[in-house]
Structure 1
Amino acid sequence: MVRKKDKFWEHVQQLGPSRFKCNYCELDYSGSVTRVKAHLACLTGHDVQICTKVPDHVQAEASAERNLSASKKKRTNETLESGIGSTSSLDRSIHQTTMVELAAKQDKKSLEKMIGEFFVKNNISFNVIQTESFIQMMKGACAYGQGFVIPSYSTLRTCLIPEAKVEIMEYVSNIKSTWGGTGCTIMSDSWTDLKKRSWVNVLAYSPGGAVFLKCIDCGSNSITAGYLFREISNVIEMLGPQHVVQFVSDNGANYNCCGDMLIGK
C-alpha cells in the first residue's frame, strides 16, 4: 500500500494499490505521486493524460512542485557525477556484462535471425531490407513496443490495402494533372524472368514524378518492332498524344524501329 505522505494525494481517490481516480476530471490511472503531480500540472509526456478540469491554483502548485523536484534531482546528479568522475575510467575498465545486457544482445541476435527467416521463407528479395518503407516499419514497431498488435489478414485485406490504394491513386492523379502543362516521357524496356518469359514495362515520367503504366506479358509473342509498336501506340492513345513529349527505350534494333514507326504515325 502506498503511504500517503505527499499533500497532492488529497486530489485523487485511491481505488486500490497504486491505482487512483482524479477528483476533478475523474480519470482513472495508476502510478505514484509523481504521475499525480504531472497529471495536475498538465504536463505531457509522462504516460498520463492531462487534467482538463483542474483548478488554476492547484495546477500552479503542482507545476511549482514538479520544477522543485527537477531542480533537486539535477543537483543530486551533478554531485554524484563530480564525486565519481575520477574513478569513471576505472569503473569502465572493470565493468562486467550484466545479465540484462547479455539478454539484450541475445534478443538482438534472435530478432536478426527471425528477420532472415522472414525473407527466406516468404521468398522476398533481399534488397527489400534497404528500402525506406521496410526500415520505417521496423523502427515504428520497435518504438511502439511489445503492446503492438499485428493487423489481422482481414484488416489488411479490407482496410489497410484499400486505403493504400486510394492514396496511390490520388498520387497518380496529381501527377497526371500536370501533364497538360509539361507533357510526359514514355519509357519502356523489356526483360526476361527466370522462367524465360518475356515482359515489357511501360512508365511515364514528368517533372511531377514517375508513374508505372503497365507491364505487358508478351506470352508466346516475339518482341518484334511491330509488336512493340502496337503496344506502345495503344499506351500513347490512352494517355493522349498531345501529352507525350518523347519516347525513351534501350538501343535494341526492335526498339529503334518501333521509334521510327511511332514517329511515322
Structure 2
Amino acid sequence: MSSSDSKNSRKDFVWKYVIEVSGEQYLRCKFCDQRCTGGVNRLKHHLAGTHHGMKPCNKVSEDARLECKEALANFKDQKTKRNELLQEIGMGPTSMHESALSKTIGTLGSGSGSVSGSGEPIPRGPMDKFTTSQPRQSTLNSKWKQEERKEVCRKIGRFIYSKGLPFNTVNDPYWFPMIDVVANFGPGFKPPSMHELRTWILKEEVNDLSIIMEDHKKAWKQYGCSIMSDGWTDGKSRCLINFLVNSPAGTWFMKSIDASDTIKNGENMFKYLDEVVEEIGEENVVQVITDNASNYMNAGMRLMEKRVDYGGLLVLLIALI
C-alpha cells in the first residue's frame, strides 16, 4: 500500500521541477535550488509566484510558472465545487442536525398518518436532494451555521482571555492562514503538542527564516543596503531602539535594544550603530538613517569619520515624528 501511494504521489507534474537529493526530507526547486518543506502544493505556489507559504522563485521559466498557476487555480475551483456539493447533499457539518430534525418530524408525523407508519424518516440518497424541493433547507443550514460559528468563536475567545493575549492578536498576518488550514483539515485534527512546538516545528520555521535571510544577505552584497534606526517608548516607559536593514529584497528586522539608560549618550549611540554596520559588513552599507537629535548627530559624525578611508559612509539625520 505504501509503495502504491508513493507512486501515485510522484504522478504530479511538479516533480519534473524538483531536484532529488538522497537523504533529504524536503523538496528542492530545480530552478533556484531553494528548499521547500511543505510538499508539492507549496512548491507549486513557489513556482507560480503567489507569495503563499514561501518566497516566489525568481528563476522559474514562464512555461513552468503558468503551468503551476493554472494547476493551483483548477485545484481551488475543484475544491470550491466539492464543498458546494457536500453542502447541497447534506454531508457537511449540518448533517447531524438535519438527521436529528428528520427523526423528530418522522415521530410526530406517525401519529397523524401523514407519513409512513414506521415513524422513521424516509431513507434518502444523495440524488434526492436534487429532485426534492426543500425551500426551508437553506434557512435551517444558515441558522445552524450561525450557532456553530458562535460556539467556535467562544472557544477561541476563551483561549485568548485565559492566556492574556492582546485582542489585536487576530490582526497578525499568520492568524487567518492558521484558521484556514485547520478548517480545511476538517474533523479529527490533532493540534501540535508542546514537544512538537519546541522540536521539529521550531526547527522548520528557523530553517525557513534562515533561507529568507540568506536571500536578503545576497541582496545586501549585490545592491547595497540602508540601515535604519527607530527609537520609541513602550508602555513601560522604556526607550527602545529598533535596527532595520532595507534593500531591494525588502526590510529585515535586525534587533531591538533597551537604551533607557544610554539613549542620551552619543558615545553609546555610536557603539550601537557601529556594531550593526560591522555585523552587516561596511562594504554593503550605503547609508545610515537615524533621528536628528544631538546624540544621533554625534554618533553619525563618528561613523563617517571612522570610515572615511574606506570610501565614506553617508549618515542621514531625519527629524522622526
Determine if the alignment matches structure 1 residue 105 to structure 2 residue 146. Answer: yes
Q: Which is higher, the Rg of structure 1 or of structure 2?
A: 1
Q: Percent identity?
A: 29
Question: Given the superposition, is the C-alpha separation of residues 96 and 238 from structure 1 closer, same or farther in structure 2, using an over 3 Å criterion?
Answer: closer
How far, CA to CA, are the matches of 2:297 and 2:168 in structure 1? 32
Q: 1:223 to 1:127 in 2, by over 3 A?
A: farther
Letter in 2 for 1:164: E
Q: Deviations over 1:218-263 (max 9, x none)?
A: 2533443222111101111222111101111234333233223322
Local SS of the residue matching 1:204? strand
State the alpha-carbon separation in 1 of the partners of residues 176 and 209 from structure 2. 20
CA distance in 2, matches of 1:144, 1:161: 21
Deviations for 1:64-87, whole angstroms, at most 9, x for unmatched residues?
Answer: xxxxxxxxx99x95xx59xx7xxx
Which residue of 192, 206, 210 maps to 1:169? 210
Residues 263 and 96 from structure 1, CA distance in 2 versus in 1: closer, same or farther, beyond 3 angstroms? Answer: closer
What's the secondary structure of 2:243's corresponding residue?
Answer: strand
1:206: which partner in 2?
A: 247
Cα deviation for residue 196 of structure 1 reads: 1.9
Q: 1:117 aligns with which of 158, 180, 190?
A: 158
For residues 117 and 225 of structure 1, do their structure 2 counterparts lie closer, same or farther at Cα, with a shift above 3 Å needed? farther
Match runs of 1:235-254 below 5 Å: 235-254=276-295
What does residue 199 of structure 2 align with? 158
Q: How many residues align?
A: 184
Partner of 2:272: 231
Question: CA shift at 1:96, angstroms?
Answer: 8.9
Q: Which has the higher contact order (CA 8 A, sep 6+)?
A: 1
In 2, Cα distance between equivalents of 1:211 and 1:121:
33
Selected match of 1:189 from 227, 230, 253: 230
Q: Which runs of 4+ in 1 moved over 6 A?
A: none
- The CA distance in 2 between the partners of 1:233 and 1:150, in whole Å, is 44
Structure 2 residue ranges without an equivalent (≥5): 5-77, 83-125, 307-321
CA-CA distance at 1:126 after TM superposition: 2.9
1:133-144 to structure 2, matched below 5 A, reads 133-144=174-185
Distance 1:120 1:250 in 2: 38
Deviates more, 1:145-154 or 1:246-255: 246-255
The one-letter code matched in structure 2 to 1:103 is W
Once the two structures are TM-superposed, the CA of residue 148 in structure 1 deviates from its matched residue by 0.6
1:218 to 244, 256, 259: 259
C-alpha deviation, 1:215, in angstroms: 1.3
1:130 alignment partner in structure 2 = 171
Task: Measure how far apart 1:131 and its partner are.
Answer: 3.0
Confirm or deny: 8 A CA contact 2:263 2:269 kept in the other structure.
no
3-state DSSP of counterpart to 2:174 = helix
Question: Partner amino acid for 2:208?
Answer: E
Residues 1:255 and 1:170: Cα distance change in structure 2 (over 3 Å): same
Q: TM-score, normalised by structure 1?
A: 0.60
The 1:259/1:146 distance shift into structure 2, 3 A limit, reads same
The CA deviation string for residues 128-185 of structure 1, in whole angstroms up to 9 with x for no partner, is 3123311011011011112110010001101101110011011101210222221111
Cα distance between partner residues in 1 of 2:161 and 2:178: 19
2:95 is matched with none
> Which residue identity is paired with 2:170?
I
Separation in 1, partners of 2:199, 2:171: 28
Question: Are residue 256 (structure 1) and residue 297 (structure 2) matched?
Answer: yes
Query: RMSD over aligned Cα, in angstroms?
Result: 3.1
